[in-house]
Structure 1
Amino acid sequence: MGAESGTGATAAKPSRAGRNLPVAIGVGLGLGVVIVGCLVLFRQGFLVIIAAAIGAALWELRGTLAAARGIRLAWIPVALGSVATVVLAWPYGHRAQVVGMAVTALVVLAWRFAGGASGYLVDVAASFFALVYLGLFASFAALLVAPPDGSRRVLVFLICVVCSDTGGYAAGALLGRHPMAPRISPKKSWEGFVGSLVVAGVGGALSLSLLLHRPWWEGAVVGVVLAVVATTGDLAESLIKRDLGVKDMGTLLPGHGGIMDRLDSLLPSAVVSWILLSLFVPLP
């Protein structure tokens, strides 16, 4: 996700971002329908989607780290601990987050004993990173959906991030001339970043006022902040992939890459969304 520069492409060819745009749009719309359907019809189903995404992302990360650097991710305890933390965050809130992360970290330390001393610190550090990045960050999405108006809170969060991505791509493709971070992601432009800010601000203003009945300016603040956070998450993921020497973290989503490639802006944005909406929108 994020703002990318370029001049567009025909429907039959990959975009300047290196994606098959029609396929990417189709997959994105399909995922959106499933997520919105769960939020509208059965909120608890959103937890199932989060848990499935975490498991798939960890499987991808396990294979990528092993192939690129020989790092042995303790993916089984991290997956179980992350999913348990996400599910239990609904009824138990921050207590579930603290206990889930702490207990899983202890299990990871012991789980890696069987591999011996060689590479122990690197393997454990990578596992801790995955635990925080996937498990802890995703648990804030569970906190978002837990209140009675949780479906609308999650929709505001998703609308802002999607608007940031869409605005950044469109502005970058049409107007992008000045690279934003050429050593990290050469196709991202300052023009695309401005597009992310503007469209996410508008999306936030509309969604917060219509869905949660708050002043439009609060929604604009939420949208602009989430555009910054989403772009930062995207750049961080780009650095991780450059460090590992890979283009994508996986291939599970046609036109998008892997699950990790779609979570790059969503995960940190879930944390900040919960913080901002907790400040702006009183619990019912």
Structure 2
Amino acid sequence: MTDTPGASPDDEGVPPQPRRDAPPSRPDLSEGQDPSQAFQEHMRAMRTGVESQMAHARAEFDQANERIKERTGRDLIVAILIGLAIGGVLLLSLVLLKWIFILFALVATVFGVLEITRALNVAGRRVDVAPQVGAGVVLALSGLLADLWLHWVMTFVAVVVVAVWRLIAQMVAVDERSPADVLADVLTGGFVQLYVPFMASLSLVLLRQDGGEWWIITFILIAVVADTGAYVSGLTLGRHPMAPKISPKKTWEGFGGAALAALAAGVLASIFMLGLPWWTGLIFGAAVLATATAGDLGESMIKRDMGIKDMSSWLPGHGGVLDRLDSILPSVTVALALFYLFTPLAVT
């Protein structure tokens, strides 16, 4: 065997290594292959790899979304997109075009009344749709147009109208409904007016106050942030049920996350949006947390009593209008009360 200069006997059978100063290697081209064709093949291979990685990531995301949906009963992506759209419309309407918020409040009132009326009728109660919607719209508008004393008068009138309507409708009916059931129907009809239209009217009372739009943004922000905090902490850390007989998926860990989020949002909003001392934000956040939690559990109890999961399916990923307003409607009461209490403390 002829020795190669610079090679040792131990290198026998080992292919010679390229020199260190050799130019970098280029992709091998088949004999007679066009360089542009080789580039296209290289790009196709890259695209295939990227598509494979995207498909793998999408599969993992879908699996995670299904696990979340199995635990919470909601489609997370759809819920987030619809929530962001509604939140964006509300924010723009309050800051730029208040009449849009007024229209939004009236539409929410009508849909909310229709939802709860239909659910109650299915559950065996008798609640009349036409007077409920008509009285509800008038009551909601009175919060915007009437003086405060007249607004309270309209609230009383709305309850009386739906009660008398139900009594008259029962008298002309041919069935033998028991007096206890009739009384329950009358009380339920009055509750509908106080739960949906009256609460919505308070938001319009707050809107007509000087700077009231910022108070509306603040209490809605605190309620939404608290709900998000409860969702995230409950989903990741939830172990101990909070009210298993009412809402089995709500946990104390979720409530803790909601409390931290609500207090933080309350402090920041009070300082930067309302011009109030930081400690008022703690009170605001705690008050909204209490009413939002009570409203959420209260509607869960109502739905459990009626044997339904959602009030309707008008909002994909959320359920019905009242399923999204269950924590917001009661919170407007404390927002209006705190407006009158804290406004003198605002920094001018």
TM over 0.5: yes
TM superposition shift of 1:194: 1.0
Runs of 4+ off more than 3 Å: none
Contact 2:109 2:196 survives alignment (8 Å): yes
Q: Is the 8 Å Cα contact of residues 163 and 189 (structure 2) preserved in structure 1?
A: no
Partner of 2:267: 205
Structure with the larger RCO, 1 or 2 (CA within 8 Å, 6+ apart): 1
- Which segment is superposed worse, 270-279 or 125-134? 270-279
Say if 1:75 and 1:127, in contact at 8 Å, map to a contact too.
no
Superposed displacement of residue 15, structure 1: 5.3
Aligned to 1:219: 281
How far 1:93 moved relative to its partner? 4.0
State the match for 1:146 in structure 2.
208
Q: 1:97 aligns with which of 143, 148, 151?
A: 151
- 2:133 paired with 1:79: yes
Structure 2 residue runs of 5 or longer lacking an equivalent are: 1-62
Contact 2:163 2:187 in 1 (8 A): no
Aligned match of 1:120: 182
* 1:279 aligned onto 2:341: yes
How many Å separate the matches in 2 of 1:245 and 1:93? 40
Letter in 2 for 1:273: A
CA–CA separation in structure 2 for the residues paired with 1:120 and 1:37: 45
2:150 and 2:261 mapped to 1: Cα distance? 35
Take 1:178 and 1:109, find their aligned partners in 2: how far apart are those partners?
Answer: 42
* 3-state secondary structure, aligned to 2:340: helix
Quick check: 1:66 aligned with 2:121?
Answer: yes
Instruction: Give the distance between the partners of 2:132 and 2:153, measured in 1 at CA.
Output: 14
TM superposition shift of 1:28: 0.6
Q: Which one of the candidate residues 242, 262, 267 is aligned to 2:304? A: 242
TM-score (norm 2): 0.75
Change (3 A) 1:44 1:255: same
Q: Which runs of 5+ in 1 are unaligned?
A: 1-8
TM-score of the superposed pair, with normalisation by structure 1:
0.91
Q: Which has the larger radius of gyration?
A: 2
Range moving further from structure 2, 26-35 or 114-123: 114-123
Contact kept, 8 Å, 1:230 with 1:266, in 2: the verdict is yes
Report the CA distance shift for 1:94/1:75 in structure 2 as closer, same or farther (over 3 A).
farther
Equivalence for 2:112: 57
Q: Residue 116 of structure 2 contacts residue 311 of structure 2 at CA under 8 Å; is this kept in 1?
A: yes
What letter is aligned with 1:274? L
Match of 2:165 among 97, 101, 111: 111
State the match for 2:224 in structure 1: 162
1:223 aligned counterpart, secondary structure: helix
Q: Confirm or deny: 8 A CA contact 1:15 1:21 kept in the other structure.
A: no
Aligned residues: 275
